[in-house]
Chain A
């Protein structure tokens, strides 16, 4: 089930930030950074666990794992972590459908867990993810990888791996499209939305 409807293309108020080729290159670069940053010490023997935050974080985590396997020869375990039940804005919205949570069989205890999401905005989703993780186990360390960081943080949260930093206005919208969920790869910037959504 798709969470937010992603705008149809072709609108005049919409600009492509990343093409399909850019998305692929960006993920490849992030994979190299992950390998570099997690290659020392105990991580050499136990690769990090990549947990995608649904909807689009889940396929992103798998793609990142594909590239890491390609470049390093070791495939990190992947999974999905739905944070809906941990959100702080549930009361303000109609009931949301839950999405899949699927932790790898290896578990997360004493592993380096890398949370993967499409867009980093207010940081509230990541706060919810950190709370959710705590109920699933105790990772050795938690890191964050996002395809796009669009600023406007409302919490003291930053990403360890950023595909692209995009300065935006609060009223603008950033859409990540992935072929797994949207039929094609792209990152779009929409000018001033009619009804600015609350930062996610």
Chain B
């Protein structure tokens, strides 16, 4: 693996290898005296964030540090980006300064892909930590890790992705990854919040949340992305009261509730549901660290022999 830019086209065998690595990392770090591995000593990882983030940036930083990489955080608001430096020049600067890996979040879809082209010569690995409404592959990987943990396997499991699919890079990455791992994905959203070309995606589409819930193994609630909507969004969920306690009752006993965060309690998900035993929202964050450690391991541990 040279870069991790998208789950669309990601070899399912490689995705499974990353998930297996994450499982073993989680296992080996459990109950240890020293939660640090020497594996990436001497590697430099730079996070370059042009958008706000708590969990993704922190999770990558912890992942890098637990693998003994040197982690440097650059946020656009406090860097030369504010003086008008272009993305390309910023990226080349980071590579010249010695970055082995740049983790980028950017509001423009395709930014990570462009960056990987500019950095090809420097040999710097690029990880997409969210680009516009395109993809967020490590989020999908941690969702898959969480679902595997709770459900045993993804094969033939039915996963509902609910809400603002149109603006959601999390949804897009999950659609490709979960279906490539054998799950059945159903998008539940009003027609206006489904992406153009949805019929070419490996999904089924529904507009009726209550009708879908009894038959799913997991439900992934999405945040209403008001910041990406002209006019600032509707100020409410598209399914009045979102995933309410009443709707939780419609789910099968074993079903898992996911949310990529940040969640708006009372909007797309009721507070009691987010804190219920069915919710794996905290586990998602915990697994995020191990999954990102696994991604860094597969990108950076080996050199030359990159597969």
* Interface, chain A (partner B; CB < 8 A): 82, 85-86, 90-103, 131, 134-138
Contact = CB atoms under 8 A, between A and B. Distances in A.
Interface of B: 1, 17, 20-21, 24-25, 27-28, 31-34, 36-39, 297-298, 301-307
Contacts of B306: 94
B307 A94 contact: yes
A97 B21 contact: yes
B297 A101 contact: no
The CB with the most chain B CB atoms within 10 A, among A90, A93, A136, is that of A90
A97 B13 CA distance: 12
Contact of B302 (A90, A131, A135, A137): A90
Contacts of B27: 100-102
21 contacts: A85-B37, A86-B39, A90-B302, A91-B302, A91-B304, A92-B302, A92-B303, A92-B304, A92-B305, A93-B302, A94-B305, A95-B1, A95-B301, A95-B302, A96-B302, A98-B20, A101-B27, A134-B34, A136-B32, A136-B33, A137-B33
Contacts of A131: 38
A98 B21 contact: yes
Contact of B36 (A90, A91, A93, A135): A135
Nearest to A131: B38
Nearest to B14: A95
A102 B298 CA distance: 22
A90 B301 contact: yes
Contact of A99 (B24, B34, B301): B24
Contacts of B36: 135
Contact of A95 (B33, B38, B298): B298
A156 B24 CA distance: 30
Nearest to A89: B302
Given A90-B301, A98-B25, 20 more contacts: A85-B39, A86-B37, A86-B39, A90-B302, A91-B302, A91-B304, A92-B302, A92-B304, A94-B302, A95-B1, A95-B297, A97-B17, A97-B20, A97-B21, A98-B28, A100-B27, A102-B27, A103-B31, A134-B34, A135-B37
